[in-house]
Amino acid sequence: MFIKQIPFLKAERLVSRSAFNVLLTLVISVTIASCGTNDDNNSSTNFDRSELLNNYADNIAIPAYEEYVSSTNNLLTAVHEFALSPEDNNKLLTCIEHLKIVSLKWQLASLFDFGPASDYALLEFTNSYPTSTDDIESSIGDESWIAGQASNIDNVGLPALDYLLNEEGAMDKLNANPERVEHLVKQVEFLNEQGELVLETWKSSYHANFVSMTGTEMGSSIGAMLNAFNRVFEANIRKQKLGLPSGVSTFSGNPLPSHVEAKYANYWSIDLLYEALLSIEKIYMGNSSSSNFIDMEGVGFDDYLISLGDEAFGQGLNNDIVAQIQSSKEAVLSLNDPLSEFVLTNQETCIYVYTELQALVVLFKVDMMSSLGVLITYQDNDGD
């Protein structure tokens, strides 16, 4: 019965002939199209995404984590030394200085909240505030307390350290209670260990993974990066650092001074906000810090947009983003520490700066995302 296959052969011939037609049509239409307007140089969007990813991995992400981890190492050393002589006020001050450096270094690292960072919930464990002082107090002296549990999120990380080191009477309390110092050390050890874990994972396995996923779909490196970048900027920078303290999300519209970042130190909240904006700029531009503190130009999202040509959604968008980053930075400089007092006395200024940041969120989250064609899909999508 297998001999009787004439219709099949015929069908096969038909299929191959028609398949040839398909190919011919495609080749012809593409040839016509690409021969059409050779003089138009802007129409080519030849952009090497793997160069972009390599730049982000080698020159920004990994160095950002390295600097962050080296700052947590230094903090750990300082805390260990303080633990040996808790009566020494200078040693406490050294700890506080190092905490500020860690907090500043954290700003750039926090923007890479995907891959290893999200696996270790680095952002949540490092900088969730306001911190729960009750939980911190009750865990002091508790032998069974282990950092890194989900329930610890609001009593570990930088805000907890800010409390332990900077609260009123911190020196006396630490001096009087060895268990408090012990807890401080545990906290810094945890902070340091988390950073080290993420850095190690980036270096050992994630780096190769990251630079190889050159697509732009959900789950690709560019998709993951932009997603984290937008989310951290919108929620953790715009809203948390400034919006919530300014009262934009409160029922009454009243400011919430207790929601400022680093509220116990109370004199570097604006520095952290400004540093976060510099970090946003750095990532957008693909710039990296060199050893002599001058930013080095690298392939970043700005170049990606420029590669789209002299269009509103290409070069034009880049110009607007650059200008908006600039005016956001200038706006932030109009704020003064302590932010917790400034939101009470100058709420309108705060809300003005907030809208500057908001304008930047729109440019990043709406314009840039659609220009780069990053299809954010959570399920099937046929166009609506």
Partner 1 sequence: MIDSAPLITLRRLFGALVVFSTLRFISYDWIDCQILDPLVTFPFEGFEWLPRPNRGGAYTLFAGMLIGGVSIMTGKMYKAGCLVFFLCFTYVELLDKSNYLNHYYFVSLLSFLLCFMPANKPGFKIHSYLLLTCKLLIVMVYFFAGLAKLNGDWLLHAQPLTLWLPQHSDFPLLGQLFQYRETAYAFSWFGALFDLMTPFALFSNRARKYFYPLLVGFHIVTWMLFPIGIFPWIMIACTTVFFSATSHRIFWNYFKKFNLDLPEAIINPADLKSYKKVLVVVFLAIQFIFPLRHLMYSGNYLWHEAGYRFGWRVMLIEKSGWANFFVVHSKGNKQEVDLSAWLTKNQEKMVSTQPDMIVQFAHHLSDYWRDSLDQDIEVHAEVWVSLNGRRSQLFVDPNIDLSSINNTWAQREYVVPMDSVILPSQFYSLDND
For partner 1, the binding residues in 24-53 under the rule CB under 8 A are: 25-26, 29-30, 32-34, 36-37, 40, 43-47, 49
Letter string b/e over residues 333-347, b meaning 16 or more CB atoms within 10 A of that residue's CB: eebebbbbebbbebb
Q: How many CB atoms lie within 10 A of CB 256?
A: 19
Tell me the two tokens of residue 85.
């002589």
Nearer to partner 1 by C-beta: 171 or 359? 359
Question: Quick check: 176 binds partner 1 (CB under 8 A)?
Answer: no
Question: Quick check: 237 binds partner 1 (CB under 8 A)?
Answer: no
Nearer to partner 1 by C-beta: 20 or 134? 20
Are the C-beta atoms of 257 and 266 separated by less than 8 Å?
no
Question: Quick check: 306 binds partner 1 (CB under 8 A)?
Answer: no
User: What are the distances in angstroms from CA 345 to CA 130, 190, 254?
Assistant: 21, 37, 11
Among 39, 251, 291, 294, indicate the residue that binds partner 1 (CB under 8 A).
Answer: 251
Among 146, 176, 296, 312, indicate the residue that binds partner 1 (CB under 8 A).
Answer: 312
Residue given tokens 């304008």 in the structure block? 359
Nearer to partner 1 by C-beta: 60 or 368? 368
* Binding range to partner 1, per CB under 8 A, among 72-80, 260-268, 281-289, 359-367: 359-367
Closest approach, Cβ 138 to partner 1, in A, equals 28
Among 87, 179, 297, 311, indicate the residue that binds partner 1 (CB under 8 A).
Answer: 311
User: What are the distances in angstroms from CA 23 to CA 28, 36, 117?
Assistant: 8, 20, 46
* Binding range to partner 1, per CB under 8 A, among 65-73, 148-156, 289-297, 358-366: 358-366
User: What are the distances in angstroms from CA 365 to CA 231, 291, 316, 372, 374?
Assistant: 9, 32, 16, 11, 11
Closest approach, Cβ 346 to partner 1, in A, equals 14
Are the C-beta atoms of 115 and 206 separated by less than 8 Å?
yes
CA distance 105 to 101: 6
Question: Quick check: 15 binds partner 1 (CB under 8 A)?
Answer: yes
Nearer to partner 1 by C-beta: 132 or 324? 324
- In whole angstroms, what separates CA 98 from the centre of its chain? 22
- DSSP class of residue 62 equals H
Nearer to partner 1 by C-beta: 203 or 329? 329
* Binding range to partner 1, per CB under 8 A, among 65-73, 131-139, 196-204, 357-365: 357-365
Among 153, 197, 344, 375, indicate the residue that binds partner 1 (CB under 8 A).
Answer: 375
Task: Give, as ranges, the residues between 314 and 333 that touch partner 1 (CB under 8 A).
Answer: 316-317, 320, 323-324, 327
Q: How many residues bind partner 1 (CB under 8 A)?
A: 77
Among 214, 289, 315, 319, indicate the residue that binds partner 1 (CB under 8 A).
Answer: 214
Nearer to partner 1 by C-beta: 7 or 169? 7
Q: 294: helix, coil or strand?
A: coil
Q: 347: helix, coil or strand?
A: helix
Are the C-beta atoms of 290 and 52 separated by less than 8 Å?
no
Q: How many CB atoms lie within 10 A of CB 23?
A: 10
